[in-house]
Amino acid sequence: MRFTFRTQSFANQYCSSLNYSILTCAEIMKVIRAKSAGFCWGVERAIQVARAEAKGGLRKVYTDGPLIHNNQMMEALSSEDINEVGDYHSKDKLALEKSESKESVVVVRAHGISPQRRDYLKSLGMPFRDGTCPDVGIIAGKVKVHADKGFDIVIFGDPEHPEVIGLLGYAMGKGHVVKNLEDIENLPTFKGGVAMVSQSTMFTHEFQELSNRLAEDYKDLLIFDTICGATKERQSDLVSLVKEGAEVIVVIGGKHSANTRKLAKLAAQQGRPTFHIETVNDLDLDSLRKFQTVGVTAGASTPEFIIREVCSKLETLEPLIK
């Protein structure tokens, strides 16, 4: 049986009369969704490129590693004969079978690749399309231009992330990846010019801290804040969820997605319980019912249908009120 009350105080009185030690009567959970939750434009573009090349399944598309970091979306794309091959870091050689019934094409992932990898993919003898996020392409351009001028390049990011691996390829052996202050301290002494960029999905405040520290040693340090606008907006919107009253945060996205993991970390830093899930099936409903207002955000590679499923499920919950 389900009860609806005009006021919470009346609900509390009613439940108390039934001698409940923990009240089970409450209004439906309030769900606040971040405005920026879901696909960024770079991810949308990569998907559009792959779908355009697939032509509704008339052509077979191979993506060098996951096109985007979302398993559910990659599975959905497979129905259009868009196939992930290779490895997460885009390092392995590919054994591609050309289809006898339709043309095959290779599409570059949204995270980009090194120029060496690009040459390799083009050598496979198949049509080649680039799905690299334009924001990542801008970073690669800055790295290449300054490496050509003899600069050492310091990249703030995860050395195992495919975007950073690709950027290092443009640094021509003069690239150095740092994640924290300790890495800054362990850098070699540079004799010439130094330029610093960031992986597109990092924290702005951490980039500022590290670039300020490096500038103490190199007064002429060139600093390029290459954290993309979508990442900054996503992080800002998450903080706004807390200001709007979210007692708990649900972050939706791939467990291997760098920007989604960053969102989950940022949510925890706001002093709110945080649940990082991939699909609605991962929701811990018993734990979430302890709260009345939940904030929902999602990584840049999370498709809209997953976000809607999660929000719809949360909106049906009746919170437990003590």
Phi, psi angle pair for 168, to nearest 5° = -60, -30
Alpha helices in the chain (DSSP H): 8-17, 41-54, 71-78, 115-122, 134-148, 162-170, 181-185, 204-217, 229-243, 258-269, 285-288, 304-314
CA atoms of 103 and 221, how far apart (whole Å)? 48
The CA–CA distances, whole Å, from 279 to 64, 73, 234 equal 25, 11, 19
Final residue in a domain of this structure, among 110, 133, 156? 133
Chain CA centroid to CA 49, Å: 19
- Sheet containing strand 30-33, edge to edge, reads 30-33, 293-298, 248-252, 274-277
149 & 213 share domain: yes
Q: From first to last of its 322 residues, what are the pLDDT tens digits of the chain?
A: 333 333 333 334 433 333 433 334 457 899 999 999 999 999 999 999 999 999 999 999 999 999 998 999 999 999 999 999 989 899 999 888 776 678 999 999 999 999 999 999 999 989 999 999 999 999 999 999 999 999 999 999 999 999 999 999 999 999 999 999 999 999 999 999 999 999 999 999 999 999 999 999 999 999 999 999 999 999 999 999 999 999 999 999 999 898 999 999 999 999 999 999 999 999 999 999 999 999 999 999 999 999 999 999 999 998 886 5
CATH number at residue 73: 3.40.50.11270
Domain range for 55 is 41-133
Residue 149 carries which DSSP code? T
Q: In this structure, are residues 246 and 294 in contact, taking their beta carbons and an 8 Å threshold?
A: yes
Catalytically active residues, by annotation: 163
Number of domains in the chain: 3
Final residue in a domain of this structure, among 198, 225, 252? 225
CATH number at residue 21: 3.40.1010.20
Residue 106 carries which DSSP code? E
Residue 318 carries which DSSP code? -
